[in-house]
Structure 1
Amino acid sequence: MSRSFDMELFLAGVLTGSHTTRRRHLHQAKVMQAEIARRWQRETPWAWHRKHVVWFLKDCIGHRNEATRYYYVLTARLLALRLGTSWLFKL
């Protein structure tokens, strides 16, 4: 039996700020999850490696404007914080 991964529950401990900010981070984390799952077959952040997130930031949203990339990097940092890793991402 397979259940879908609840990104909202996963990020609940590290999401702070206004409702809009939390909603944006949650939406972006779900987009990241979907793209990484499609490309790498890694369904949950627990299975991700730094290379998967870097691939997403470089190849999937690399063509987007600077502000969009910045906000995705912030979301990636939240995910790394939640995972307890020391991953660093360039802006």
Structure 2
Amino acid sequence: MSKPFDMELFLAGVLTGSPATRKRHLRQAKIIQAEISERWQRQTPWAWQKKHVAWFLEHCLDRHSRMTRYYYFLTVRLLVLRLQKTWVFNLRARI
């Protein structure tokens, strides 16, 4: 029996800002994780590839407002920073 992935612990080193901002990033990171896990069966961010995150940004946020997409993009930047990847996403194409 394995323990569920702890997103709060994963992002602890890169989360900054006010408590409300940290809470928003954590909530959005859990939503991203759930969507990628459901679609691609990748349970943890360590198993993600750039295409998984790009899929989330393109297909899961397509009906959301520009500001919502922007805030998710900021959360994705934190996830990429924590993963120590060099992934770059075109913000203009998604907003």
What interval of TM-score do these two structures reach, taking the shorter chain for normalisation? Answer: over 0.9
- Structure 2 residue 76 is the aligned partner of structure 1 residue 85: no
Q: Deviations over 1:46-87 (max 9, x none)?
A: 000000000000000122110000000100010000000011
AA matched with 2:22: R
Counting matched residue pairs gives 91
Match of 2:14 in 1: 14
Q: What runs of 5+ residues in structure 2 fail to find an aligned partner?
A: none
AA matched with 2:9: L
DSSP 3-state at the match of 1:34: helix
AA matched with 2:37: A
Q: What runs of 5+ residues in structure 1 fail to find an aligned partner?
A: none
Match of 2:58 in 1: 58
Instruction: Give the alignment's Cα RMSD to 1 decimal.
Output: 0.5
Match of 2:3 in 1: 3
CA deviation after TM superposition for structure 1 residue 89, in Å? 1.4
Match of 1:30 in 2: 30
Rounded to whole Å, the distance in 1 between the matches of 2:90 and 2:15 is 21
Rounded to whole Å, the distance in 2 between the matches of 1:41 and 1:2 is 15
CA deviation after TM superposition for structure 1 residue 37, in Å? 0.3
Rounded to whole Å, the distance in 1 between the matches of 2:69 and 2:90 is 10
Rounded to whole Å, the distance in 1 between the matches of 2:49 and 2:30 is 16
Rounded to whole Å, the distance in 1 between the matches of 2:4 and 2:88 is 28
- Structure 2 residue 39 is the aligned partner of structure 1 residue 39: yes
